[in-house]
Structure 1
């Protein structure tokens, strides 16, 4: 009878846990990002708490306000700037429909070998512009619907970001109690190895945060410098966009169109400079700085962490940037511990062939 009662209690507890996870399912993404942000900036929280004589709630409120200013305000400002640029693009398309292309730039004909052919192509496109717009007009509605859907998704992401910035306050304030709870839970599950795996997860997440955010910041600064030197308008906005696109590892989508714009304006020298700067400096820093920051201070093979980063993004989306390497790191450590426990000592592996030879002799 006691066994049946215990089984019933376990089933009820599992049902309660499943129902709780179901209730929290819409907020998993926001909870995840709030936890990552709180963990990555916990040294700042600890320092601010010390400066405020241990008042954690005040420190959490101040640090949350700082994140709102540093993250939410620039994103809103960036959204308004993008809206202005979209209006300019629409105006350009309407002008092209009504007035056609402007006269070809003088430098276009001066290009050796292909200059004359490019000018003829320019005039052909200008003459056929009306027919071209008539051809693509049926697809403009589909493009508009796609843009509306993307805008709704971006709006949902903004709401999720706002919720994350609210939740991060509670992670700051209750961080020590949450850490004790997680440690007790892992200790109940895996015993003495709880500290080891907590340090492993914490170290992996911290290195990925340093590598991803550090690389994105470096690329944004280098891109801003290149845009300023090349005289590209909106250098600060483009730098912020480079920071955002660095997370999905495609900053050429920012500096590439800037190079094309410089070519359009006839600034061939600056276009060549920005193209070289973008390819070798902005994009090249990703191949040097990110692996260094991710592998720094860890004992995991770099390939495990990098495969976790790329595979995690493909499997889980942007959340996989942190989930992927953490899962692979834990799995690699578990397998290493299992092999170490089962493998015979190295000296036995060396002595065994000698003993076999003596037995045969």
Structure 2
């Protein structure tokens, strides 16, 4: 009996047992799943850097992983925390100032009744429409401002849970850097995939993750800086906040930055700052647009061969499903789906 393969009943029982235990385990750690996924992604991206330090330290893996984590925290964690504080402060100011500004615009420049001769009988009707528009616009801007403040301040709620997730992510990164290769080998032995298909699945996910982060970090930083500086130059409120919004939206090629600076141009022109509006539009089209048209293909390259539409819906879907980290997780899932479909197509030809 020794070495005999289990029969179909035993195999089915083992699969059901495995599925049940696995679902129980996932349910138990579901609060930390995003932290673990991010840890795996960041560990994969930092592994070449870790490997160089490991060779320099003559295979002292724990020390090498610790150095990588410390450098990552100093280079990314502290600046990100400071930026979050500035963005939250400007979001609060945006929430407080937007409604009065909209009221002023609608009561002055956009009051249709003031542009009509007093003898027209339609004046009272337009006054009524203007009051309705003012109320709806004020309600909308108040809601948007409140949502921005609550979204940004939510990071400070549940501090114990946040710190626990952060600890899990950092500890998991440390573990994945040291034992990542063994874990990948174990995973490969469990999956019913050929070595070629497995390598394609892993490499494709890693390539698209790198491309997404290049688009977010490098392109986003440049475009966010350019838009923030231009907003500050023309006297618009919240340059740091809007630069941060561009930083996040820049992951969407050709669409991210214009979503912010085009409404700003319209606002400047409609409020009488025509020269500043034209200047900002020229800056947005030529300088900010240059980053998308020239720098993005050069920096990001062909790592991610996903259509722009897929990138857009995967980012938006990722944000809705996972929160801000969906900007990273969304495109990775889309890339893995694309790779699995390619494997499926080759397997069933």
So what's the TM-score if we normalise by structure 1? 0.68
**CA offsets per residue over residues 62-91 of structure 1, 9 Å max, x none?**
523543212233112211121023222345
Q: Which moved more, 1:74-83 or 1:240-249?
A: 240-249
Deviation of 1:324 (Å): 0.9
Deviations 1:305-339 (A, max 9, x none): 54542342355443322221232134325535x48
Change (3 A) 1:21 1:224: same
Residue 326 (str. 1) matches residue 326 (str. 2): no
8 Å CA contact retained: 1:52, 1:59: no
**Corresponding position of 1:171:** 172
Distance (whole Å) between structure 2 residues aligned to residue 259 and residue 135 of structure 1: 22
Alignment-derived partner of residue 197 in structure 1: 201
Q: 1:166/1:197 Cα in 2 relative to 1: closer, same or farther (>3 Å)?
A: same
After superposition, the Cα gap between the structure-2 partners of 1:66 and 1:191, relative to the gap in structure 1 and judged at 3 Å, is same
Match of residue 262 from structure 2:
256
| Residue in structure 2 matched with residue 183 of structure 1 by the alignment | 185
Partner of 1:275: 281
Alpha-carbon distance change, 35 to 306 in structure 1, aligned in 2, over 3 angstroms: farther
User: In the alignment, what sits opposite 2:323?
Assistant: none
- CA offsets per residue over residues 273-313 of structure 1, 9 Å max, x none? 211221343245334444454443x5x8x3x4545423423
| Counterpart contact for 1:312–1:324, Cα < 8 Å | yes
Q: Say whether residues 1:22 and 2:30 are aligned partners.
A: no
1:182 CA displacement: 2.3
C-alpha distance in structure 2 between counterparts of 1:46 and 1:89, whole Å: 50
SS in 2 for 1:177: helix
Deviation at 1:219?
1.4
Match of 1:36 in 2: 41
C-alpha spacing 1:45/1:71, structure 2 compared with 1 (3 Å): farther
Name the SS of the counterpart of 1:247 in structure 2. coil
CA deviation after TM superposition for structure 1 residue 210, in Å: 1.9
Q: Which of 244, 254, 263 matches 1:240?
A: 244
Ranges in structure 1 where 5+ consecutive residues have no aligned partner:
109-116, 343-361
The answer as to 2:92 corresponding to 1:83 is: yes
Once residues 156 and 316 of structure 1 are traced to their aligned partners in structure 2, the CA distance between those partners, rounded to angstroms, is 18
Tell me, yes or no, if the aligned pair for 2:266 and 2:277 is still in contact at 8 Å.
yes
Deviations 1:77-111 (A, max 9, x none): 211121023222345467x49xx956x7xxx9xxx
CA–CA separation in structure 1 for the residues paired with 2:250 and 2:100: 29
How does the TM-score come out when normalised to structure 2?
A: 0.70
Give the length in aligned residue pairs. 320
Q: CA deviation at 1:151?
A: 5.2
Distance between the aligned counterparts of 1:121 and 1:36, measured in 2?
61
Q: Which whole-Å deviations, capped at 9, do the CAs of 1:35-69 have from their partners, x for residues lacking one? A: 33443344455566677784123542452354321
Unmatched tracts of structure 2, length 5 or more: 320-325
What's the RMSD between the two structures over aligned residues?
4.4
The structure number with the bigger radius of gyration is 1
* Post-superposition offset of 1:144: 5.7
